[in-house]
Chain A
Amino acid sequence: MIKTRTWLLLLAALLLAAGLFWWLGSRRNSGSVVQVIHDGQLLREIDLSDVREPYEFVWEDDAGNRNRIRVEPGRIAVTDANCPDRLCVHQGWLSRALPPIVCLPHRLMIQWKEASP
Chain B
Amino acid sequence: MSKDPRKPISLTLRLTTDAMLTALALGIYFLEAQLPPLVPVPGVKLGLSNIVTLFALFRLGPADAAAVLLARVLLASLFGGQAVSLLFSLCGGVLCFLVTWLTRRLLSGKQIWIAGILGALAHNTGQILAARFLIRQNAIFAYLPVLAVSAVLTGLFTGICAQEAVRRLRFPPRLS
Does B146 belong to the interface (CB within 8 Å)? Answer: yes
Number of A interface residues, CB 8 Å?
Answer: 30
Indicate if the CB atoms of B152 and A15 lie closer than 8 Å. Answer: yes
Cβ contact of A98, chosen from B106, B121, B146, cutoff 8 A: B146
Indicate if the CB atoms of A19 and B139 lie closer than 8 Å. Answer: no
Number of B interface residues, CB 8 Å?
Answer: 30
Indicate if the CB atoms of A105 and B84 lie closer than 8 Å. Answer: yes
Interface of B is mostly: helix
Which residues of B124-161 are within 8 A (CB) of A?
A: 131, 134-137, 139-140, 142-146, 148-149, 152
Beyond the given A14-B152, A39-B136, please list 15 additional residue pairs across the A-B interface where CB-CB is below 8 A. Answer: A1-B108, A7-B111, A15-B152, A18-B146, A21-B145, A22-B146, A39-B135, A84-B82, A104-B42, A104-B88, A104-B131, A105-B82, A107-B134, A109-B139, A109-B140
Taking beta carbons and an 8 Å cutoff, which residues of B are in contact with A? 37, 40-42, 82, 84, 88, 106-108, 110-111, 114, 117, 121, 131, 134-137, 139-140, 142-146, 148-149, 152
Indicate if the CB atoms of B137 and A4 lie closer than 8 Å. Answer: no
Indicate if the CB atoms of A7 and B114 lie closer than 8 Å. Answer: yes
Q: Report A-chain residues with C-beta under 8 Å of the C-beta of B143.
A: 99
Rounded to whole angstroms, the CA-CA distance of A47 and B84 in the bound complex is 32
